[in-house]
Amino acid sequence: MDLDNYPIDNDSAPFYPVGEAEQQQQQNQNTRKAQFEEVTNASQGFPVIVQQMAPQHPRYQPTGLPKIFNIDGRSLVFYISPNEPRRGEYRNKIIQHGGILVDSATDALFTLGTDQAIRLDFIDKCVEEGRVVVGEPFANGVGDVGDAAGEAAADFLDDVSGMIDPVIQQIGRDVSEMDVPAQLLSQQHQPQPEVARDALLISQSPRNKPKTPNRFTEEQDEFVLERVREKPRLRNSHKFYDALAEHPKLAPHTGNSIRSRYRRVLRHRLYFVYKTDDHDRLVFDSHGQKINIGIDEIGGTLKNKFTAEDDYRLCLALKNSNRIVYSVFSDLYRKYPNHSINSWRDRYRKFVKEDEIDDYIDYYLRKKRQGREPLCLSNNTKRQETGGESNDVQPQASDNAAGELNDDGEPDDNAEE
């Protein structure tokens, strides 16, 4: 099978191979219709199997439920673990808001559950905000140190964001403000309650047909690679790709989709980069030409250093939260965008222990009252402050040092800005 047809390597809108798109769309439509009838009948106390009624075509009346899981006429596909206690509840939420539930995790874009990539409260957040919040950190296990599955889940969310963003951008408005299609299927049962009627609507209008996917061209790929070669230490920076997205040559791709494209496809084609100085400025030879060097000859990627004040803010936010949920890091990012959500999360994961949060807050405030500069969080800050050693001893280097690499020799993506 031609892997180039899959959107994981091209942030295209369809979520199935191009050759199977029409067949899958019809199957999804049939699935949504059957699921909505079952949900509605169950909610009204009717048996799941009901008699076939004479087809009628009542005038559609909107229910007011936003189709947040139906983007430009295409339903997002979900899977929920069969052993989830609240599976039925979230199944209804997904279907009533335009999504599709499938029985196989391999067929789904979002796999939900305590044993899956994404937590169920992802659905609650989407319904609450009236949009697909793919940028929010709802990955299972991300907070567990050394949990490879959690790291993969975090990468998965980033890739999903790269796929969904351009689709939302095509619509030209927030998903919650989408026009609800008003044309019924040619074959339909008699009028059901509002939710059922709403569910059976599938647009056949030409303006709501899936648009041509926003695939990356070879020219765009080369443009991204050239920019990475010129700024190699920024190659994992979210802000770097956000800035690239503003260039007309990369329209209509978003920063998330460009970063996902690089990480999934282009970094395997980065055979060399250009030499830069300590300030990331290009270095030229005597003929004014850029100097090619190997990947192994450059330092690690740049990091936006955490300060003691950042660590204090992090500990304070954790203390004020009832439990460690990843909305904490999202809120920190909104208030203090000098660090990304992933950076706040990684700072907590690497350097904060539950029983030391209060200690660090007290330590930071005490140093400020004394007119002295607090140290940043590190593995031995508490030991130095409570173990009788001098308060002026510098703690061991934390992740403030640039150039930290992961096991693959690549910079740690999660810690980058």
Q: Are residues 256 and 324 in the same domain?
A: no
Mean pLDDT of the chain: 67
- From CA 190, how far away is CA 50, in angstroms rounded? 12
pLDDT at 140: 60
Report the C-alpha gap between 72 and 133 in whole angstroms: 16
Average pLDDT value for residue range 114-136:
78
**Confidence category of residue 311, pLDDT binned at 50, 70, 90:** very high
Per-residue pLDDT at 361: 93
> Does residue 374 or residue 187 have the better pLDDT?
374
Q: Which two tokens stand for residue 370?
A: 């004394």
Q: Of 297, 320, 350, which residue constitutes the final position of a domain?
A: 297
pLDDT grade for 274, boundaries at 50, 70 and 90: very high
Residues 54-84: tens digit of each pLDDT: 444 333 344 567 888 887 677 888 889 888 8
Residue 364 forms part of a structural domain: yes
- Which has more confidence, 140 or 11? 140
* Mean pLDDT, residues 359-363: 92
Q: For residue 368, is it within any domain?
A: yes
pLDDT digits (tens, 9 = 90+) for 161-220: 555 555 444 444 444 444 444 443 333 444 444 443 333 333 333 444 444 457 899 999
Residue 313 lies in a domain: yes
Residue 209 belongs to some domain of the structure: no
Q: What CATH number does the domain containing 235 carry?
A: 1.10.10.60
SS3 95: helix
Q: Which of 397, 362, 368, 365 is nearest to 382 (CA)?
A: 362
Q: Supply the range of the domain harboring residue 92.
A: 70-141
Q: Residue 29's CB: how many other CB atoms inside 10 A?
A: 15
The secondary structure element, H or E, covering residue 37 is helix 21-43
Residues 6+ apart with CB under 8 A from 398: 306, 350, 351, 376, 377, 378, 379
How many domains would you assign to the chain? 3
* Model pLDDT, residue 397: 36
Residues 234 and 289 both lie in one domain: yes
Mean pLDDT across 7-16:
42
